[in-house]
Amino acid sequence: MRKNIIISLALLILFGQIGYAAFEETESSPRAEGMSESVTAIVSNPLEAIYNPGGLTNIDNIEVVSYYRKPYGLFQSAGAGFAIPSKIGVSALNLRWFSVQGDYRNGDSILIEADAELHREATVSLSHGVALQDNFSIGSTVHVYNLKQARFGSTYALGFDLGVAGTLYDYWKVGISLHNINSPSLGKENPEELPRVLRAGFAFSPTSSINSSFEIRHEVGFPLRFSTGHEFTVSRYLTFRTGVQTEPVRFSAGLSINFNPFILNYAVVQHAVLPWTHQISVGYILR
């Protein structure tokens, strides 16, 4: 009974709010989550192409990573990413999946199927970043979105992103990205626009073991969101992260354990009402 109440509350918060659009749950990188998503200026792995494809040029080696995320301890989210550097830049492929399980009932509240998949979001993203100068790069992403709902069926959409990243005054980094710039929508009779997001991030990296970042995020139809994150590498094996954001106010923390060529990332995000969100990823870097 208690779990059903929590699930109902979570669904109300996630899907019942005015202005909600599908594919809001795009978080896939525990590193980014541990820093409250303030990584637009300091992208470092394939999963973070969603924040800024222009930052993919920071990736120097072939990398494969998979992740699992349990939003609010209730839903399911998983995926994988792959990046490969070449003479013409860095390309990345990402797969993301988000699912809501529950009892499927018809309009008369008659149970049709217990523990059914009520809502599923699947995304395939192809990104490429290229360095135009030593301290400036640009990138783009093509997303293929698929939304499937037990009651309404399945539909598809295409989305496009653009991003730039650069270094200013040695220690200062900047990143700007535009998500879904083509204003994609799902459905024909009552089309629903997917989130359009502008991100602007700044980071201070005095050494290779310290990153402090600040980010402004604006989604069309929503208030500005501010976030800040910090990353400290204490040894070649261990890195700690922390962050905080507004709209809503949430605190986060995370860590990386590096056993070359494998790297394990973990993050936890606090919520004022719902259970905390835990996320983990495992990556392999071919050096």
- For 103-153, the pLDDT digits (tens) are 777 776 777 777 778 889 999 999 999 999 889 999 999 999 999 988 888
Q: Indicate whether 14 belongs to any domain.
A: no
Q: Which DSSP string corresponds to 46-68? A: GGGGGT-GGGGGG--SEEEEEEE
Domain total of the chain = 1
CA-to-CA distance for 44 and 145, rounded, in angstroms?
24
Q: Residue 274, SS3?
A: coil
CA-to-CA distance for 26 and 77, rounded, in angstroms?
9
Q: Indicate whether 8 belongs to any domain.
A: no
Q: Indicate whether 10 belongs to any domain.
A: no
CATH at residue 76: 2.40.160.60
Q: What is the pLDDT of residue 17?
A: 44
Q: How far apart are the first and last CA of the chain?
A: 51
Q: Indicate whether 204 belongs to any domain.
A: yes
Residue spans of beta strands (DSSP E) within 194-276: 197-207, 210-219, 225-233, 238-245, 250-259, 262-269
Q: What is the pLDDT of residue 151?
A: 80
User: Predicted confidence band at 101 (pLDDT cuts at 50, 70, 90)?
Assistant: confident
Q: What is the pTM of this model?
A: 0.90
Please give the average per-residue pLDDT across 178-189, as a whole number. 93
Percent of the chain with pLDDT over 90: 72
132: containing domain = 22-286
- The answer to whether residues 72 and 53 touch, using CB atoms and an 8 Å cutoff, is no
Please give the average per-residue pLDDT across 83-106, as a whole number. 91
Q: Indicate whether 17 belongs to any domain.
A: no
Instruction: Please give the backbone phi and psi of residue 7, each rounded to the nearest 5 degrees, phi first.
Output: -65, -45
Q: Indicate whether 226 belongs to any domain.
A: yes
Within 13 Å of residue 211, how many CA atoms lie on the same side as its CB? 29
Q: Which residues share a beta bridge with 179?
A: 197
CA of residue 147 relative to chain centroid, distance = 17
Q: Indicate whether 208 belongs to any domain.
A: yes
Q: Indicate whether 200 belongs to any domain.
A: yes
Q: What is the pLDDT of residue 256?
A: 98
